[in-house]
Amino acid sequence: MYKEIHIEYSNPNGSVEPITLKYKIRNTSIAQKWAGKVATCIKSYSIDQPDRFYGFDDYTAEKTKAIEAINRCCEIIDEYSPIIKRRVDQNIDQDTLNFLHHIFEVYHGLLGQPHDFYIGAPEYVQKALAQLNIEVHRCESFVEGSGRKIMPRHIVTWFGMNRNDKLEQEDYNHFTDYYEPGTIYLLYVEIGKTLEDLATDNDQYIGEDAYKPFVHYTADFVIRFFGSSKESWKANRIKMKEYYEKNKEFFDSKGLPLSHPYNRPGNIPVADLLSKQFDPYTELRKRQYVSKVTII
């Protein structure tokens, strides 16, 4: 049985000493299966974007960085083939982000079913298209009135790992949308959005390529250093129900009532920070780089 995952955080500039945080792996079937995948990745793959941190910098700096990054993806893609023709400005709006996410879904293709555009594009365009998805979700934290905030968290992914494994029925019992600071959660790896995502974004591009429940999982994970409030939890549930009712015909056609496990909000926790006295915002702000992951 896997007991702990240790993550070393550093600064590539070497201006501060690295620190290692220890997380206790939960004794659940899904947490143990996930840990086994992490152990495999450590041996066979390298971390993709080890500096993928959010919410640790000044708000203005984070927003500027997000806008520059998403527009850079759009420019690379449009120079190859003008399929986007839209950009993000300082007044980031959700409809533009929904449109860009739709572009990603269509031209990238579904999980395991890449689109002809993606297959035929050079590698640098493929990477820009994949990165577009990441940058859309980063920019969503800066949409005025969305209720979202850029909260401290970081994501660890391994480039090249397969995404064929599926959650089992019992795994859905562990979904929660009441988040705890310092907890590790499985990362959503589908090409699309869950009901919760669609509702949060008020996404009008709902369709076969847009709605994708959380079914597959890998070793990839997200660590949230923030928690949920009862108010935000309740508001999120109401928003989901309203969106479901508005698009009930679509969900009925899929045979997916609101109560179906596929429509459960939140994520699956798999490990927890052992030292709750640690101040991640202060320390990780100076060390926004994952330099090593070990598991015992």
Q: What confidence tens digit (pLDDT) does each residue in 180-217 have?
A: 999 999 999 988 889 998 888 777 766 666 788 999 99
Q: What is the average pLDDT across 217-246? A: 92
What's the pLDDT at 207? 63
Domain boundaries, the chain: 1-56+152-296, 58-150
What's the pLDDT at 291? 96
- Share of residues in the chain with pLDDT > 70 (%): 96
- On the question of pLDDT at 160 being above 90, the answer is no
Options 2.40.100, 2.60.120, 1.10.260, 2.60.40; CATH of 1-56+152-296: 2.40.100
Q: What is the average pLDDT across 1-12? A: 96
The answer to whether 189 and 220 have CB atoms below 8 angstroms apart is: yes
pLDDT, mean over the chain: 91
Band of residue 53 on the pLDDT scale cut at 50, 70, 90: very high
Q: Which residues contact 180 (CB under 8 A, 6 or more apart)?
A: 224, 227, 269, 272
What's the pLDDT at 143? 86
DSSP helix/strand/coil, 17: coil
What's the pLDDT at 182? 93
- On the question of pLDDT at 133 being above 90, the answer is no
Q: What is the average pLDDT across 166-172? A: 97
Q: What is the average pLDDT across 141-163? A: 81
Q: In Å, how far from its chain's centre is CA 59? A: 20
What's the pLDDT at 105? 83
Q: Which residues contact 292 (CB under 8 A, 6 or more apart)?
A: 6, 7, 8, 20
The answer to whether 189 and 134 have CB atoms below 8 angstroms apart is: no
Q: What is the pLDDT of residues 87-107, one digit of tens each?
A: 999 999 988 998 998 899 889
Q: What is the average pLDDT across 265-291? A: 90
